[in-house]
Structure 1
């Protein structure tokens, strides 16, 4: 038998809850009669009844129930206001075009804080402009906060660049609660780290700044794969192993070293990135010159890892502007203690012509130095020793045969020098 509104036990009756549970389980509910009773005032609005009805309604029925709620007279009495909001929380959760249209029209006619999160919950991209405007423009704080909450619940459908720009502006808002909301939402974006770092680059309220720093510190970091030159037998120089250990400690994320070889080895299932597919592996070629390793081996290594999960590949280290600036600064300091008539040298292993020539010409201009190939044969090393009369810097990240053969003329490899060690640690630590 179909349950009728007239059969519902009154509020306070011990029979009401079991009766509503039977109504919830019933497959044959004439929802139209229940909506009629609510609209005509034959049934008192009650959250327990509405909680059951909303599960039985289709899109048209949900829109009808929402329309009924919107027509209810407003009351300043606290209990009536609380009941009204509880009912809306139940009614407005249905995601349907008709419900979205009703909410949109109601907000356009008279914005109410309670409606804005529900409008965002509809996840219709056309509502972004209205919610963005209400969050950004000066107005009552409850409305602005509710608009931002609407953006939070519909996060996945909004244009990310425009949303991030809005949140960056709101992070410095005079309304501290709104600014904190903006920080929290910024931390949920795919570009969370970039956004939070950008927010922290501007003056913020102390409380908001502390919140942003906590959010930034709690973000998971992608595992790193550092591709490096190995030595004979695949030995990894100690300074590179130290770099990886320090990075792992500072980033609190896995860091793996992989040496170059003729064939890209398949990834180890226990390696960084294999057990966290939601975080892409970041491949960093710690190579200083665009030789065959950069042009051929690195793409092969990247392809092998990419078959096992998402991967982000950075340019080789020598192409980083900050690295080139550090080379120029280091050479300038070295040259200051030598005759100005002797141009400083950048020594590198021999390279095939083409791309490498253009890179070396750029490096010479950037560093005001001369680049010179340095073969590893004994005869060439003797000639090279005689040729080094001024400041010289080896383009070697870690110890190799060149730096070990000419320690007096060349000094330590780059990663053993404080300037380059600090730069590399800071740059790699800052990666997402």
Structure 2
């Protein structure tokens, strides 16, 4: 049986010149060759026999292995006037050696611009650095993004961020992109908004941008991105007052949230006899929706440890439930408490009284650890305060240090000690605005 004839290797010297009618069919024949020895083609490029024509590179790049790819990039970098289109055509593999070379090129940052790293070279390589998806490239791209350099270089760095979006440290990425969303370069800002919208939990990053003075077109873009990420129904679990009565400030909070989020927001009081009806909160087919459950509880007491799991199980029969940690555990809430406490100011003559945080009595090691952490983070002294009339009357007579009631809405403590401790936390502007913003940004 006769063997099929082996097609002769096409060589660089046989390539028809640009503009010749035979060139395209010849290149198609080169592409269809089952095997291609890249060595003569690389050597011809390095010797200047061939130019970096896009039609030729488009075919050669498909056949280059990672070492050949890196060899061609190194040669390109040494040219007096490197063609900025070459790297994007050549660099197709995610390869450790190529990634290390790219990192080396950009590691010096914008300080290396000019002779050491021409701007055209930097603009060509920064997107490819991100394309390699190496986590160690993040500080390099970040430095280029935040430097006071030409807009096209910062855009190239942001393109690199976009190409490797999934591998960068999420918290740092949100901070950098949120800052860029207010950039004077509207193209850069618009891209930053688009990238924030691609991140998991995008509402948390996008909603705060609406509080800024944005360019009108950018504000419209932000609105479109938020509209594409509809908010879930929100169930706020609160203490409530006796008989399930809901304090006015909590009712107002839920109404404002519903207006801002464009989705149902309901309150479930622990003191109520029954939860809200599912039809009041969930729309459409029950069981096929997502529900965000937020405990607006300030301490890890029995309600958090026992009642909340039961509430979550109840609602799991109607929807897919995402539970958020109880409010008192949120770092931003604790930081805001510290600011509010610092604003109370000392009341004794020496100016040295430590402010008090009056809380409902707790038991167990978990409560002790939590209260110790809260004291450390807020600079206060936690004081257990039973709500019995006798105890409150005694406290009213002995309270000397500035004090803050650790209660979200009006209750017996704030009713009786209003002159000493002031309003509940939700009636204080700083804490009210923080809670509203945090809840608005939830999925």
TM-score, normalised by the number of residues in structure 2: 0.57
Task: Report the equivalent of 1:37.
Answer: 44
Are the aligned partners of 1:193 and 1:216 in contact in 2 as well (CA < 8 Å)? no
> Is 2:295 the partner of 1:285?
yes
Task: Report the equivalent of 1:46.
Answer: 53
Are the aligned partners of 2:162 and 2:195 in contact in 1 as well (CA < 8 Å)? no
Q: After TM superposition, give the deviation of residue 143 of structure 1 in Å.
A: 3.0
Deviations 1:220-270 (A, max 9, x none): 365223346899xx9999999997676444203454666769999xx99x8
Aligned equivalents of 2:100 and 2:217: distance in 1?
Answer: 40
Q: After TM superposition, give the deviation of residue 296 of structure 1 in Å.
A: 0.4
- The correspondence for 1:315, drawn from 307, 327, 337, is 327
Provide the secondary structure at the position in 1 that maps to 2:236. strand
Deviations 1:15-41 (A, max 9, x none): 544554454454322233332333333
Aligned equivalents of 1:427 and 1:299: distance in 2?
Answer: 23
> Is 2:126 the partner of 1:116?
yes
Aligned equivalents of 1:19 and 1:304: distance in 2?
Answer: 71
> Is 2:65 the partner of 1:55?
no
**In 2 relative to 1, CA 248–61 (structure 1 residues): closer, same or farther, beyond 3 Å?**
same
Task: Report the equivalent of 1:250.
Answer: 260
Aligned equivalents of 2:297 and 2:140: distance in 1?
Answer: 49
Are the aligned partners of 1:152 and 1:185 in contact in 2 as well (CA < 8 Å)? no
- The correspondence for 2:72, drawn from 42, 65, 69, is 65
Aligned equivalents of 1:289 and 1:104: distance in 2?
Answer: 48
Task: Report the equivalent of 1:137.
Answer: 147
Which fold has the larger relative contact order, with Cα–Cα distance below 8 Å and residues 6 or more apart in sequence?
2
Are the aligned partners of 1:288 and 1:397 in contact in 2 as well (CA < 8 Å)? no
Task: Report the equivalent of 2:93.
Answer: 94
> Is 2:188 the partner of 1:176?
no
Q: After TM superposition, give the deviation of residue 124 of structure 1 in Å.
A: 2.2
Aligned equivalents of 1:170 and 1:228: distance in 2?
Answer: 37
Are the aligned partners of 2:182 and 2:189 in contact in 1 as well (CA < 8 Å)? no
Are the aligned partners of 2:298 and 2:326 in contact in 1 as well (CA < 8 Å)? no
**In 2 relative to 1, CA 166–54 (structure 1 residues): closer, same or farther, beyond 3 Å?**
same
Q: After TM superposition, give the deviation of residue 147 of structure 1 in Å.
A: 2.9
Alignment map for 1:190-229 (pairs within 5 Å) = 190=200, 195=205, 207-208=214-215, 211=218, 214-215=221-222, 218-219=225-226, 220=229, 222-223=231-232, 224-227=234-237
**In 2 relative to 1, CA 429–73 (structure 1 residues): closer, same or farther, beyond 3 Å?**
closer
Task: Report the equivalent of 1:392.
Answer: none
Task: Report the equivalent of 1:427.
Answer: 435
Unaligned stretches of 5+ residues in structure 1 = 76-83, 327-349, 375-394, 403-417
> Is 2:34 the partner of 1:27?
yes
How many residue pairs are counted as aligned between the two chains?
372
Deviations 1:26-69 (A, max 9, x none): 43222333323333334343212212222222111211222333
**In 2 relative to 1, CA 99–212 (structure 1 residues): closer, same or farther, beyond 3 Å?**
farther
Aligned equivalents of 2:45 and 2:75: distance in 1?
Answer: 8
Are the aligned partners of 1:66 and 1:91 in contact in 2 as well (CA < 8 Å)? yes
Deviations 1:283-303 (A, max 9, x none): 213568876443302034447
Q: What's the C-alpha RMSD, in Å, of the aligned pairs?
A: 6.3
Provide the secondary structure at the position in 2 that maps to 1:184. helix
Deviations 1:85-111 (A, max 9, x none): 333321234322222233344445415
Are the aligned partners of 2:231 and 2:261 in contact in 1 as well (CA < 8 Å)? no
Are the aligned partners of 2:91 and 2:128 in contact in 1 as well (CA < 8 Å)? yes
Aligned equivalents of 1:167 and 1:183: distance in 2?
Answer: 5
Provide the secondary structure at the position in 1 that maps to 2:73. helix
TM-score, normalised by the number of residues in structure 1: 0.58
**In 2 relative to 1, CA 247–184 (structure 1 residues): closer, same or farther, beyond 3 Å?**
closer
Aligned equivalents of 1:250 and 1:172: distance in 2?
Answer: 22
> Is 2:157 the partner of 1:150?
no
Deviates more, 1:55-64 or 1:286-295: 286-295
Aligned equivalents of 1:288 and 1:124: distance in 2?
Answer: 41
> Is 2:196 the partner of 1:187?
yes
**In 2 relative to 1, CA 22–299 (structure 1 residues): closer, same or farther, beyond 3 Å?**
farther
Provide the secondary structure at the position in 2 that maps to 1:28. coil
Task: Report the equivalent of 2:309.
Answer: 299
**In 2 relative to 1, CA 259–24 (structure 1 residues): closer, same or farther, beyond 3 Å?**
farther
Are the aligned partners of 1:2 and 1:30 in contact in 2 as well (CA < 8 Å)? no
Aligned equivalents of 1:74 and 1:171: distance in 2?
Answer: 34
